[in-house]
Amino acid sequence: MEQLPSFKRHRRLRSSDAMRAIVRENHLRTEDFIYPMFVIEGNNIKNEVPSMPGVFQVSLDLLKDEVKEVHQLGIKSVIFFGVPSEKDEVGSGAYVEDGMIQQATRLVKKEFPDMLVVADTCLCEYTSHGHCGVIHNHDVDNDESLTLLAKTAVSQAEAGADIIAPSNMMDGFVAVIRQALDRAGYQHVPIMSYAVKYASAFYGPFRDAADSTPQFGDRKTYQMDPANRVEALREAESDVQEGADFLIVKPAMSYLDIVRDVKNNFNLPVVAYNVSGEYSMVKAASLNGWINEKELVLEKLTAMKRAGADLIITYFAKDVAKWLSE
C-alpha cells in the first residue's frame, strides 16, 4: 500500500461503546429536567391535549397520582400552568389564594416535599383577552401589569412555590417581582426568569393546552423578534442586574446559538425551554413511523446541554427518564 501522509487518528476514541462513553463531553440526567404540567379546574378530568400526544390537562383531584409518577421516575422539578374555568380582563385568577397554581403547589409540597415546584408567573392563562398583562387601547400596559405580576408571584410564594418563573416579558418584571418577594419575606425564593423569550410560531400547541391564545393581535410588542441575537444579551443583562437567579431561553431547538451566547456571557444557570411545537413535531413524525423517537429526542436534548443549558424544561422528561433508566 502506498505510504500515506501523516494525519490525526480521531477514530481511535470512537472504537466501541465503552470508549465513546469515557470521552463523552455532555450527559443527560433526570435531575436536569423540569416537567411542565397543566392543572385544570374541575374534578376527575384528564384531557389529552390533541396537538400534544401524551400531555394532559389534569384536575387537582388526579394531580397526586400524576406527580407521583414523575417523582418515582427521579424527576426532581415540575413547573405548573393553570387552566381556570373563568377569566377576566385583569387575570385575577392568577393571584387569588385558591388559584390553580396555588392549590397545585400546596398539594405537591404536602405530598412530595422534596419535589421542587416552579410556578409560572404570568396572566395570559387567566385573562379573557389572552394577553400577558392589562390592556389599554389595544396594547399591554407595561407598568400596570407589573403590579399584578408582583402580586401573583407573592401569592405563589405564599403557597409554597420553590421557584418563581415570570414569563410575561414586561420590561422591569424581575426588579418588581424581586422587590415584592423581598418585602413579603420571601428573600430566599429564587427567580427563574424567562429572560430571552421570542415571539415564536413554536408555541401553538401550548396555547391549546393552556387555553391562552390571544383574542386579538399577537405578542410581538413584548416578546422578541426571532431575527435578533444581540437584543437577547440586552434582555438577559437587564434581568441579571435586576436580580434573576436563572435565565431561560425560549424556544430552545432553533435558538441554540442564543443558549450558548447567554451561557458565555452570564454566570448564572441557563435553562432551555424545549417548547410545545418542538415536542409535537417529533411526536407527529414518530406516530407516522418517520423517525426513531428515542434516538432523536436524546440527540436534541443533548444538543441543548452541549449548547450550554444547565437545565431543560421539556414535555419529554418522563420518556427520557424511562430511557435513561434502561
Task: Cite the active site residues.
Answer: 197, 250
Amino acid found at 24:
R
Q: How many residues comprise the chain? A: 326
Q: How many CB atoms lie within 10 A of CB 292?
A: 12
